Amino acid sequence: MATASTLDLDYVRSQFPGLDRGWTFFDNAGGSQILKGAVERINTFLYEKNVQIGGSYEVSQAAAAALYEARTAAMHLVNASRPEEIVFGNSTTALMQNLARAMHSQLSPGDEIVITVSDHESNIGPWDRLQERGIILKIWPLNKESLTLDLADLAPLMRERTKLVCVTHCSNILGSINPIREIADFVHARGAKICVDAVAYAPHRAVDVQAFDVDYYVFSLYKTYGPHYALMYGKYDLLLELDTLYHYFYGRDKVPGKLEPGNPNYELAFSTCGIVDYLTTLGEQAGETGSTRAKIEAAYGAITAQENALTERLLTYLRSRNDCRIIGQSLNRDSQRVPTIAFRFDGREAADLCKAMDAEKIAMRFGDFHSRRLAEYLGLTDHGGMLRVSMVHYNTIEEVDRFTTALDRILSGEAGLAKAS
């Protein structure tokens, strides 16, 4: 297990130019800062290969090679079995909507899809809309006591006509990691497939779709150190079965192109290479000398150690206040919590506290974070919802301490903030 000392924070922060602007970014679940290497890859494509693929001439061939290189980098990033299992798209929301459309021929009125109340709307809305076609939607409830998903609550929802279970790998409010392999085994044993939203997980832990045995797995690059773009992994045989979303002459076997109508954004896809370059460098700094995949795993070991320190620092402070409610687990047991931490203060308006922090040049967020159904389910929509601090490995203990010092000052009224009536 890598330790925090294997992460060279000076090097790490030098790779994110946006960190030099004087802000502390604690809104990384809304979007991380972008890597210099990712931007350089975008520029390289636009300056050197900015043509349509499919031509016989040299530059077009280079563009096609760059797109394949991007899929290969993404393959290493998620440990897919082949580059063709990677589908690029505008966002996680768009990819989920595309997946739902591409499954139309596989679904008939009376078929059932299970969603969870704890997911981001990206992995609820596309399936909810299928009710217009006679698909039955069932909701896997969150245990309000443990704030976990219990397979005992999923079991009675699954029947012969259950086709798909949609679940988040990590809640962007609760911050806790769901046991995806255990859920996948349970779902597959009952003849259904699983679709996982990994947006809140992928920035923090190594993704291994083969070890998870997931059928579809989606996350956003702009929350994983890249540009505003996203990728979906799908098992190759399952991608073959999906309907084409492209022109009629894109047959069912044209994977993954048939799922990327109008073609992917080549330059943004190519940025994935910059993300993988960065992670392999971190892995090498942690002492790993093996394969690209081994270096990625070592990098995330070091990332996890750094983020565990950040998580504990903030949770310790929040636990010390008798006017604060942490939403989710208040302890990070066995690294099962990512540094995405939502909380509320008694009688305080979340918007007021968040805006007071703006003056400190500390970027955070308030509200329901597009997980509105979870916020409603837990009764957390009043007083402007929740405050959320979402950190990643380039954040520092000093930034956490600066935040808590400022929060103490704001809560004590020194910033002129009055309690909500």
pLDDT of 41:
98
Strand partners, 140: 116
Q: Binning pLDDT at 50, 70 and 90, where does residue 415 land?
A: very low
Q: Domain ranges for the chain, please list them.
A: 4-34+299-410, 38-276
Q: Binning pLDDT at 50, 70 and 90, where does residue 3 land?
A: very low
Beta carbons within 8 Å of 250's beta carbon, 6+ residues apart: 244, 257, 258
* pLDDT exceeds cutoff 80 at 188: yes
- Mean pLDDT, the chain, integer: 94
pLDDT of 43:
98
Helices 292-320/58-78 angle, 10° precision: 50
Count CA within 13 A, CB hemisphere, residue 418. Answer: 2
Of 146, 145, 148, 194, the C-alpha closest to 170 is 148
Of 107, 105, 101, the C-alpha closest to 126 is 101
Q: Binning pLDDT at 50, 70 and 90, where does residue 414 land?
A: low
pLDDT of 252:
86
pLDDT of 1:
37
- Look at domain 38-276 and name its CATH class: alpha beta
Is the bond preceding 261 in cis, omega lying within 30 degrees of 0? no
For the structural domain made of 4-34+299-410, what CATH number should be given?
3.90.1150.10
pLDDT of 421:
38
Strand partners, 176: 337
* pLDDT exceeds cutoff 50 at 102: yes
pLDDT of 62:
98
pLDDT tens across 237-266, in order?
A: 999 999 999 988 898 899 999 999 999 999
pLDDT tens across 107-120, in order?
A: 999 999 999 999 99
Return the percentage of the chain with pLDDT > 70, whole number: 97
Summarize the confidence of residues 28-45 as an average pLDDT.
98
Q: What is the 3-state secondary structure (H, E, C) of the chain?
A: CCCHHHCCHHHHHHCCHHHHHCCEECECCCCCCCCHHHHHHHHHHHHHCCCCCCCCCHHHHHHHHHHHHHHHHHHHHHCCCCHHHEEEECCHHHHHHHHHHHCHHHCCCCCEEEEECCCCHHHCHHHHHHHHHCCEEEEECCECCCCECCHHHHHHHCCCCEEEEEEECECCCCCEECCHHHHHHHHHHCCCEEEEECCCCCCCCCCCHHHHCCCEEEEEHHHCCCCCCEEEEECHHHHHHCCCCCCCCCCCCCCCHHHCCCCCCHHHHHHHHHHHHHHHHHHHHCCCCCCHHHHHHHHHHHHHHHHHHHHHHHHHHHHHCCCEEEECCCCCHHHCECCEEEEEECCCCHHHHHHHHHCCCEECEEECCCCHHHHHHCCCCHHHCEEEEECCCCCCHHHHHHHHHHHHHHHCCCCCCCCCC
* pLDDT exceeds cutoff 80 at 2: no
Q: Residue length, the chain?
A: 421
pLDDT of 370:
87
